Structure 1
Amino acid sequence: MSRVIGFEMSSQEPEKAATFYSRVFGWETVEQDWEYWSISTCQREGIIGGISKGPSDYPHGTRIQIEVDSIDEAVKKAIENGAKVVREKMEFDDFYLSYLVDPVGIGIGLYEKK
């Protein structure tokens, strides 16, 4: 089975997006050349990716699912840092899920195991 090994998000404000993900989820971001920030989601394991300045015809893109210990706490921090809730916390058999849009318009999903 294939697995997610990375991601790239487009934004018209990549620095603002990098600050958001660093503050809310503790991700390490490093500014590279050409308005690109590399991202590490964990010191030992996890996926890597980046945030780049999106072109005018595709200014924002990619929704990723982020596993958190507590959706309630993550949503609270996200709102404090400029996110908007698109779909409130939903309950499924084995997990909870919520959809947000970060301060620069990128859609994210929050996933919490029961």
Structure 2
Amino acid sequence: MGRVIGFELSSQEPEKAVKFYSEVFGWEFADPHWDYWAATTGKDEKEGINGGIGKGPNDHPHGTRIQIEVISIDEAIAKAKSNGAMVVRDKMEFDDFYLAYMVDPTGIGFGLIQKK
């Protein structure tokens, strides 16, 4: 079962967004990495998820995407495509994980993550 493990807020003014969410909700942010500020939204003993704010790319300049962890990103991409989803960004490799962005048949964007 794919579990939502995070969220990504896309903004063309990520520094301003970081300041807003920090001041309004008390979120804590790490220093930026790849134009992405990881966010801690609360203590681990409470329900909730963490995420981050990134400089929105051309294909998703503003908005929110959930990140869904999968066992095999290649299988999840294939299964999503066979059920009507479109690949927005194919599998990308990072230090500790693989990431891909898709849009479901209704237009909702989401990310797939496979930890290494």
The normalised TM-score by structure 2 is 0.47
The normalised TM-score by structure 1 is 0.48
